[in-house]
């Protein structure tokens, strides 16, 4: 099988790293699917999308002069399939943001207070790691 840019082929996941997955193609060559090319939505943990030895369809998006093959799973998906993108980050609890009866000004004031407290804590933590936060004059 000749590796052609734009071609959609099948391969087997041969290794997973925090930045992507290595795919063994049917001709014995290996390519890399970067984490940003795994799915349409944001991928925080690639292992929640792929498993070792899983067979996947990939699109060959580039082959550099050294023979490194870049692959994409999301570009190999059926273009007629509707894309569902998540608009909310997983880390944010959105449930209690719209349920209160606070005015915009009250919400803004609460946000500013919480933000100031977090910044203060971060600065305090950073300064304690630096040994007090100030420069010390060493006397010999």
Q: Tell me the pTM.
A: 0.56
pLDDT in tens, 88-108: 555 655 555 555 677 888 888
pLDDT in tens, 20-45: 999 999 888 999 999 999 988 888 89
Alpha-carbon distances of 31 from 55, 91, 113, 116, 119, rounded to whole Å: 14, 32, 49, 47, 43
């Amino acid at each position: 099988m000749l590796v052609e840019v734009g071609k959609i082929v099948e391969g087997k996941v041969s290794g997973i790293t925090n930045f992507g997955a290595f795919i063994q193609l049917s001709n014995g060559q290996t390519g890399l699917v970067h984490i940003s090319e795994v799915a349409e939505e944001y991928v925080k943990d690639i292992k929640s999308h792929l498993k070792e030895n899983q067979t996947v369809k990939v699109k060959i998006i580039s082959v550099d002069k050294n023979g490194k093959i870049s692959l994409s799973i999301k570009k190999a998906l059926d273009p007629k399939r509707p894309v569902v993108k998540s608009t909310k980050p997983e880390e944010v609890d959105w449930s209690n943001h719209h349920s209160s009866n606070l005015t915009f000004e009250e919400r803004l004031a609460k946000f500013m207070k919480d933000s100031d407290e977090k910044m203060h804590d971060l600065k305090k933590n950073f300064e304690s790691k630096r040994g007090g936060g100030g420069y010390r004059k060493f006397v010999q």
